[in-house]
Chains A and B, each alone.
Chain A
Amino acid sequence: MEETKTKTFRDRIASFVESFGVPRLIIAGFLLALFIAAPFVGADLPTQISNTINRFCWNGILVLAMVPMVHSGCGLNFGLPLGIISGLLGATLSIELGFTGALSFFAAIVISTPFALILGAGYGWLLNKIKGGEMMIATYVGFSSVSFMCMMWLLLPYHSPNMVWGLSGKGLRTTISLEGYYNQALSGFLRIQIGNFSIPTGALLFFAFMAFCMWAFLHTKTGTAMTAVGSNPSFARAAGINVNKIRMLSVIMSTWLGAVGILVYEQGFGFIQLYMAPFYMALPAVSAILIGGASVNKATIMNVIIGTILFQGIVTMTPTVMNNVIHMDMSEVIRIIASQGMILYALTRKSEGGKS
């Protein structure tokens, strides 16, 4: 194959550029510039930094959910909304069943688990049928499930007066306040407060725990098998690994982490967002892990941590700093261009997996 030879040469250039990581450098440099500029334009730096840490805690686990599927070669999980839906079912059912306070958070995790397992298994089965086209189909599985659940939120027989529309007494509201339920359940735990600077210790610990579990899992026998399936499926098959089973497991893990991730997000944010809200939630998570240095078939825990800090840093810093500098709020536009540009950049890199 003449084509492969030219490709390997281009690969070498590409891998050089990739190790250099031009877009990553730009984003990191941009964030650094924002932090340096912040005090000069009158933004309160401690508040900004604690906001960044806060948002890191909200989103960390959603980004972590990308890791298993990337490892098993299923690509970026654009179908994250499926996991989010399991989490939302857990959250609403936990409230419906009358749990309150921090207990409702753990009840929500427990209730969402069977949903995540079932949906994840179905999703995993589907992705095994369509190897090679995972990312596009994952996107549309996510979209279809979100729009399907839009109907379900209206039709399912919820009764809790805190969740349903006041007038008709049925159908869930678009946003449900978590006041009295698990608002700040993790973030409020052991919170350290120094002036304007605060650290949500509980949420950080929870993320650290999940990240450690993921790291430990990837070093078990099954975890190594998962990496093997992702980097070379035919080799893995020859070594006696059941490729489909491992892929299925990775999808289920990813879906469950998505469910837990949205619950952690909600406890920080303070609201449950239903209907079309989960629609585009996969994209920030995908671009965060890519900004952190992951590629379509390689991702580490460090990528998750760095990526989430960079992405959330930009999300928090740009509005304040930009507003003060040029009196225009361009943050939304910058966020779109940076995150989508990052995904595009990753998609145009040659994939190393799947080649023998």
Chain B
Amino acid sequence: MSNENATTKGNVLQTGQQKKKGNSLLNLLASNTVPIMFIIICAVCIPISGFSPAYLINEILTRMGRNTFLILALLIPIMAGMGLNFGMTLGAMAAEIGLIFVSDWQIYGIPGMVLAMIISIPISMLLGLICGKILNAAKGREMVASYIISFFINGIYQLIVLYMMGSIIPIKHTTVKLPRGYGIRNTVSLLNMRQKLDDLLAINVKGVKIPVATFIVIGLLCLFIVWFRKTKLGQDMRAVGQDMEVARDAGIDVERTRIISILMSTVIAGFGMVIYLQNMGNLSTYSSHSQIGMFAIAALLVGGASVDKASIGNVFLGVTLFHLMFIVAPSAGAKITGDSMIGEYFRVFVSYAVITIALIMYETKKRREKSQMAELLAAEQEADA
């Protein structure tokens, strides 16, 4: 036990992840606690809320189309052993900058979306590069660092959008610009882009709208991720996620691989944000991105993912269960307590609680595995020293 405290945090992280054969049944149970809890919450809340099944299915399909792409952005950094990427907010901000330009240039519909995505790519890449470099300097505490990065870049985003746009960066239309002559309005209307992707090829089955085109896009991303896992780079990332030292000995450029994983995640998050906002139909310039990371991460964890392991299946299960809770909780809360705010606060509480529990389970699991391997670890360290 004393040896494990003596190691650096980064080192502990690797060795913890290295050994996880054996108690797989226990792991299976532990990693499914959260989904089971959520199924129970939903099972209790659905009858109380009194929504019709058609309404619920419709809402879930809409929200699935809206959020899945964003949540998929989290998978790649998890694969590279960098934990939950709270910095996906950076991609969201890049996308918002793209959308602001597109709505100022008055390019509507699908072309506008595509253009916004194209504009977001270089910004996302730059931000992802910065984020990756910082996270390389903060190995072992990537999550808390990426979480602070999102705040830091939010400050810079505000600096650019609130002060530079309109004064230094040309913005023409007063519908986008603040009346004082510079800065962007609190809300930018995306009405002419609203649900353009969702309505493309949409199928209506008994009042339930299925946004086929959005699902095709999401499906393509899933295929890309499956394919990417099999490429050389994907294999490298998994190796880095397993053990940085071993990966380095095998000739993998660990730092570069980690930066690429964050970079990809940021770019995907940017695309996801464009899809998200075309569904919402308006952009809250200063707040749309702030909660995105939290909700995406909570949804992924609800699907049974953990900090070091997540699959596409987790994403779909998570988005369904989490948003089911999100839809039914306010009205169930209002019916039980007579106060509509209770349900609102309840769902926020549950989102945070889920992340907390998942983080605690991850850390305790890591410690349990570590204490089992303590003796082996001590021997290894002696050999290393």
Q: Do A and B come from one complex?
A: yes
Chain A residues in contact with chain B, CB under 8 A?
A: 1, 3, 78, 126, 129-133, 135-137, 139-141, 143-144, 147-148, 150-151, 154-155, 171, 233-234, 237-238, 283, 328, 330, 332-333, 336-337, 340-341, 343-344, 347-348, 351, 354-356
State the CA gap A47–B8 with chains docked (Å).
48
B74–chain A nearest beta-carbon distance, Å: 15
**B60-92 interface mask toward A, CB cutoff 8 Å, 1 = contact, 0 = none?**
000000000000000000000000000000000
State the CA gap A137–B361 with chains docked (Å).
11
State the CA gap A148–B346 with chains docked (Å).
7
Please tell me if B282 contacts chain A, counting CB pairs below 8 Å.
Answer: no
Chain B residues in contact with chain A, CB under 8 A?
A: 2-3, 5-9, 12-13, 134, 137-138, 140-141, 143-145, 147-149, 151-152, 154-156, 158-159, 162-163, 245, 337, 339, 341-342, 345-346, 348-349, 352-353, 355-356, 359-360, 362-364, 366-367, 384-385
Q: Which of A126, A136, A139 has the most CB of B within 10 A?
A: A136
Once the chains bind, are A150 and B349 in contact (CB under 8 Å)?
Answer: yes
Once the chains bind, are B364 and A344 in contact (CB under 8 Å)?
Answer: no
A10–chain B nearest beta-carbon distance, Å: 10
> A154: which B residues are within 8 A, CB to CB?
339, 341-342, 345
> B137: which A residues are within 8 A, CB to CB?
348
Selected contact of B149 from candidates A155, A234, A283, A344, CB within 8 Å: A344
Given A131-B367, A155-B337, A340-B155, are A333 and B9 neighbors across the interface (CB < 8 Å)?
no
Once the chains bind, are B147 and A151 in contact (CB under 8 Å)?
Answer: no
State the CA gap A150–B367 with chains docked (Å).
33
Selected contact of A333 from candidates B147, B148, B159, B346, CB within 8 Å: B159
Selected contact of A136 from candidates B141, B151, B152, B337, CB within 8 Å: B141
Q: Which of B6, B143, B154, B352 has the most CB of A within 10 A?
A: B352
Identify 16 residue pairs between A and B in the complex whose beta-carbon atoms are under 8 Å apart, listed by A's number. Answer: A132-B13, A132-B363, A135-B141, A136-B143, A136-B144, A137-B356, A137-B363, A144-B356, A155-B342, A238-B2, A328-B163, A337-B159, A340-B155, A344-B149, A354-B5, A355-B8
Once the chains bind, are A340 and B6 in contact (CB under 8 Å)?
Answer: no
A172–chain B nearest beta-carbon distance, Å: 12
Once the chains bind, are B148 and A344 in contact (CB under 8 Å)?
Answer: yes
A139–chain B nearest beta-carbon distance, Å: 7
A198–chain B nearest beta-carbon distance, Å: 32
Once the chains bind, are A341 and B152 in contact (CB under 8 Å)?
Answer: yes
> B349: which A residues are within 8 A, CB to CB?
144, 147-148, 150-151
Given A136-B143, A340-B148, are A354 and B9 neighbors across the interface (CB < 8 Å)?
yes
A1 nearest CB neighbor, chain B only = B384
Once the chains bind, are B162 and A136 in contact (CB under 8 Å)?
Answer: no
Once the chains bind, are A347 and B346 in contact (CB under 8 Å)?
Answer: no
Given A283-B151, A336-B154, are A354 and B359 neighbors across the interface (CB < 8 Å)?
no
Once the chains bind, are B148 and A151 in contact (CB under 8 Å)?
Answer: no
Q: Which of A133, A139, A343, A354 has the most CB of B within 10 A?
A: A133
> A132: which B residues are within 8 A, CB to CB?
9, 12-13, 140, 363, 366-367
Once the chains bind, are B145 and A344 in contact (CB under 8 Å)?
Answer: yes
Extra inter-chain contacts (12) besides given A1-B385, A154-B341, A333-B159, CB under 8 Å: A133-B359, A136-B141, A136-B143, A140-B355, A143-B356, A147-B352, A151-B345, A151-B346, A234-B2, A283-B151, A337-B155, A354-B6
